[in-house]
Amino acid sequence: MLPSRAWIDRNRAIVLRASRAAPFIAMLASSLVFSQACRAEPHPNIVVILADDLGRGDYSAFGTPDLRTPHIDRLFREGMTFDNFYANSPVCSPTRAALMTGCYPDRVGVPGVIRDIPANSWGYLSQKCVFLPSRLKTAGYHSAIVGKWHLGFDAPNTPLDRGFDFFHGFLGDMMDDYWSHLRNGKNFLRHNRETIVAEGHATDLFTAWACDYLKTRADKPEPFFLYLAYNAPHDPIQPPVEWLRKVKERQPEITEPRAKLVALIEHMDAGIGQVLNSLDRLKLSENTLVVFTSDNGGLLSRQARNGPYRSEKQHMYEGGLRVPGAVRWPGKTAAASRSERVVVTMDLFPTLCEAAGITSPTGIDGVSFLPTLLGKLQSDAPRDLYFVRREGGPAYGGKTIEALRRGDWKLVQDSPFAPRELFNLTRDPLETTDLAQSEPEIFRALSAALQAQIQRAGNAPWQP
């Protein structure tokens, strides 16, 4: 069994004291201690794979019968499934900000979607927050992001400005076309700081770039953190022709919109398979912790499957917030294990820090679930969970929608112009019955807690 870091530190101290009295013995002891230190368990490599708008039920291991996702399923089969994994927001940028900072997104200046058109942009990343790659750097990690960034277009809010060592991907919110890679006629593809032009479907590009990065790290002594953020299956729903044909041949009765979405998801799944195979081929899998999740629920208008839950992306009901969640860590996390623990995207930050043997910054909102990953008992300490989205247009008017969950209870304001609703998720997981009138004390308590969260977030400006 390899020694713990505590054992190494303790025996280093003993060696230091002994050296004053018996230098020769101390020298022998020092050799033993430091040889054991060299054999100490290395920091794990970390790969976070984030899908874009993947519904809670849109992978075959969930039991959804009309799609085939063997590689996503592999992560669930070989790791731990989180049945209650929540995104921090029902839209992209806020959830990504929560992942990178461990904080509620409006506390770091990102209550809504960051866009390249200032009049329709609803966030600006705070310079005060510590980013995950910066924190991992203190443990010697080399960090890379491949794929979608969506947290800023210019310095000081590009990936290399916020702690990443390598960037090969897309700065923007979405692509108008998976092949042209433009957004509003602008090219946001970057290789580090250089604007690039690339040929091919965005999913294939991101997969290839991720595999290329893994090859560069295979013989390096430092651990690495790879954040692979796919655009898929976000609009526009543009699968490669051969993938769409394969779905239609397998299921002639499938509708056209559903066939296109299934094909786009299956194409992404194949890319994830290439990344997992690269880890295997490069002999990195055994010491690599892999996370798979999505930034929010899917769009029902695109025939996404959000499991049995109500509503979709952009909304504060469970269908917009519940997402797939799996963690694979060979030798640490039991294969085919499950957890009912309520986990939120921002919890990944402290969990990954703890797995890397470092402490998280003070004042973050996320809670590490590393003990759960390691199969240990972990109390689910009571905490309020707060979800937010700010948006423009006639439906929002630049205002916010919110939800707050406390234990079994959930308060929802799904429109800034509608009354708040109250649900009991244990008795009513599909959110069919509003209890705001019948449970006035609970309604008032959660409303006060939600107001406090909104006031707390007011400390962070969300415009440059």
Per domain, the residue ranges of the chain are 5-38, 45-373, 384-457
pLDDT of residue 379: 87
pLDDT single digits (tens) 127-172: 999 999 999 999 999 999 999 999 999 999 999 999 999 999 999 9
Whether the predicted pLDDT of 23 surpasses 90: no
Whether the predicted pLDDT of 29 surpasses 70: no
Q: For residues 183-187, give the mean pLDDT.
A: 96
CA distance 455 to 8: 46
Per-chain mean pLDDT for the chain: 92
Q: For residues 53-76, give the mean pLDDT.
A: 98
Assess contact for 236 and 264: CB atoms under 8 A.
no
Whether the predicted pLDDT of 8 surpasses 60: no
Tell me how crowded residue 154 is: count the other CB atoms within 10 A of its CB.
Answer: 10
CA distance 276 to 200: 21
pLDDT of residue 41: 72
CA distance 298 to 115: 20
Q: For residues 414-431, give the mean pLDDT.
A: 98
- The answer to whether domain 45-373 and domain 384-457 are alike in fold is no
Whether the predicted pLDDT of 14 surpasses 60: no
Q: Is the pTM of this model over 0.75?
A: yes
Task: Choose the CATH number for 45-373 among 3.40.50.300, 3.40.50.150, 3.40.720.10, 3.10.20.740.
Answer: 3.40.720.10
CATH class of 384-457: alpha beta
pLDDT of residue 380: 80
Whether the predicted pLDDT of 31 surpasses 90: no
pLDDT of residue 40: 55
pLDDT single digits (tens) 390-422: 999 999 999 999 999 999 999 999 999 999 999
Whether the predicted pLDDT of 82 surpasses 60: yes
Whether the predicted pLDDT of 190 surpasses 90: yes
Whether the predicted pLDDT of 351 surpasses 90: yes
Amino acid code (one letter) for 209: W
Please report which confidence band the pLDDT of residue 26 belongs to, taking 50, 70 and 90 as the band edges.
very low
Residue 304 token pair = 């996404």
pLDDT single digits (tens) 89-132: 999 999 999 999 999 999 999 999 999 999 999 999 999 999 99
Please report which confidence band the pLDDT of residue 68 belongs to, taking 50, 70 and 90 as the band edges.
very high
Whether the predicted pLDDT of 38 surpasses 50: no
Among the residue ranges 24-38, 346-360, 411-425, the one predicted with the least confidence is 24-38
pLDDT single digits (tens) 229-246: 999 999 999 999 999 999
pLDDT of residue 6: 40
Whether the predicted pLDDT of 192 surpasses 60: yes
Residue 260 token pair = 């296109």
